[in-house]
Amino acid sequence: MLEADYVIIGSGSAGSALAYRLSEDGRHSVIVIEYGGSDYGPLIQMPSALSIPLNMSLYDWGFASEPEPHLGGRVLATPRGKVLGGSSSINGMVYVRGHARDFDHWAEQGAAGWAFADVLPYFKRMENVEGGEAGWRGTDGPLHVQRGPRRNPLYAAFVDAGKQAGFELTADYNGSKQEGFGAMEQTIHRGRRWSAANAYLRPAFKRKNVSLVSGFARRVVIENQRATGVEIEARKTIQVVKARREVIVAASAINSPKLLMLSGIGPAAELRRHGIDVVADRPGVGRNLQDHLELYIQQESLQPITLYSVFNPISKALIGAQWLFFKTGLGATNHFEAAAFVRSAAGVDYPDMQYHFIPAAVRYDGKAAANSHGFQAHVGPMRSKSRGAIALRSPDPWAKPEIRFNYMSHPDDWRDFRHAIRLTRDIFGQAAFDPYRGRELSPGSAVQSDDELDAFIRQHAESAYHPCGTCRMGSAADPASVVDPECRVIGVEGLRVADSSIFPRITNGNLNAPSIMTGEKAADHVLGRTPLSPSNQEPWINPRWRESDR
């Protein structure tokens, strides 16, 4: 029988954690619905191959934005994982919790019980961290987190340059002090991608009370304002997977609002336009879409020590063989091994800009950007004021939704990005880079004025692939809220949403960690458990924040 106590739509970061925790005590049955296939292939499990599954229709839903009006009408790719593990199986494996103040802001916006003190115990419960700050990090959770080996001297040069430019250093940006330059953390374990599928789903599937149903979720079945199951399409047949207790949507910031709207939950006028019966008029469904944009600032390296040396078929074959047989070498890292979180200006109390640094000049699609040795920083503002929306293209469940990020629609975003470029030039100009620094490859030294920088941003800003916010969590009395602070869809019984779509505002950094935390915490709400006791630990805030950006 296709029936269980809890039916979870989506096997991604939050869905995997939910499956693991809801089935843990053996008292409840769980079905996970996933349309994508296996994540077993080496292209997913090998960390350095990360740009390949990201661009494969086998593993990615293949979404794209509508033409973005403030980026010259460009259409930006919006990858989401269509595979066991969801986007955690095709992401960059960068592990960032977010800043403490991010979660305090959630609570201030109506997500009561989601302040930093409330979520820190869940981050600690999920983590198994090597070398983290004592007392702030988890050491026996399912999710393995490590630091890269940082053997390339350019990683140290980046951190030293940050210090020379007057910025803080941090020994653990996921500990008490996010602000500063330091080592980047990775969801990699024993040389393999440590996705939510590896951390949570595989152990859960070993239990008798958890099963996987392969199928395409068409809509949530709702009877008398109560969710009773999920209509799926599998092998050209439409069936219903029944939920005795609850349906939990964990299908991504793109697919979760789409599924709610197809099920009659969303802006009433929009639903009626598509001939969908209105079950709950929630105008916030699909609204509040947020993402991180970033630029690649690239510099030529005078020394032949970058990854350009291995951008040839023979080297790639050797790296692949070493990884295949030993799970070591350049194949066993995502190459994001140094990071920074900085504040853009005096008066900003906690970091609002993030750096990823890699010793190569490449793009996410894996193409070498320069026919020479180089290094680059990915940089972008973390708290853009621009907001977009997800809308139905048609009532056909197979139709891709309309995705409008509305990137760069707020004037502050332009100011912040110009500052990001100039600041990166300042960092790359420090003495630590003197032995390595050649010419600037991108944007190029000729690009200097505000107008020139704006033209570069318009043409080259890329998504960091962190969509969120489209089923916003908040007070049940707030008409813009979609779920309440226990992740329950407002106006419908037996239905929750738990993934990055419920974030009231985007967090500081990559979204995999807070998405998994959301699944962890939501599981306790579903089971009616008392949440973990709040922490009394105080995060570090720069005492000079009012006077200086560093």
195 and 189 Cβ atoms separated by less than 8 Å:
no
107 and 118 Cβ atoms separated by less than 8 Å:
yes
27 is in an annotated binding site: yes
13 is in an annotated binding site: yes
Give CA–CA dist 154/175, Å, rounded. 24
9 is in an annotated binding site: yes
Q: Please report the sign of the dihedral spanned by the C-alpha atoms of residue 316, residue 318, residue 322, residue 325.
A: positive
Residue 424, classified by CB atoms within 10 Å of its CB into exposed (0-12), middle (13-18) or buried (19+), is buried
377 is in an annotated binding site: no
16 is in an annotated binding site: yes
User: How far, CA to CA in Å, does 20 sit from each of 8, 85, 169, 528?
Assistant: 11, 12, 36, 16
Give CA–CA dist 21/41, Å, rounded. 26
17 is in an annotated binding site: yes
11 is in an annotated binding site: yes
Query: Which has the closest alpha carbon to 266: 222, 307, 298?
Result: 222
490 is in an annotated binding site: no
189 is in an annotated binding site: no
297 is in an annotated binding site: no
26 is in an annotated binding site: yes
307 is in an annotated binding site: no
Query: Which has the closest alpha carbon to 90: 131, 43, 57, 54?
Result: 54
The two structure tokens encoding residue 411: 């004037």
DSSP-based three-state secondary structure for 149: coil
Give CA–CA dist 360/191, Å, rounded. 20
142 and 125 Cβ atoms separated by less than 8 Å:
no
28 is in an annotated binding site: yes
Q: Which of 144, 292, 356, 466 is catalytic?
A: 466
32 is in an annotated binding site: yes
520: amino acid identity, one letter: E
Residue 261, classified by CB atoms within 10 Å of its CB into exposed (0-12), middle (13-18) or buried (19+), is buried
528 is in an annotated binding site: no
Give CA–CA dist 11/83, Å, rounded. 8
Say which DSSP state 394 is in.
-
30 is in an annotated binding site: yes
33 is in an annotated binding site: yes
Residue 466 annotated among the catalytic residues of the structure: yes
Q: Residues near 407 by Cβ (< 8 Å), separated by ≥ 6?
A: 68, 70, 71, 76, 291, 293, 384, 386, 388, 413, 461, 463
144 is in an annotated binding site: no
22 is in an annotated binding site: yes
* Helices then strands, each counted (H, E), the chain: 13, 25
8 is in an annotated binding site: yes
12 is in an annotated binding site: yes
Query: Residues annotated as binding site for FAD?
Result: 5-34
Residues belonging to the active site: 466
Query: Residues annotated as binding site?
Result: 5-34
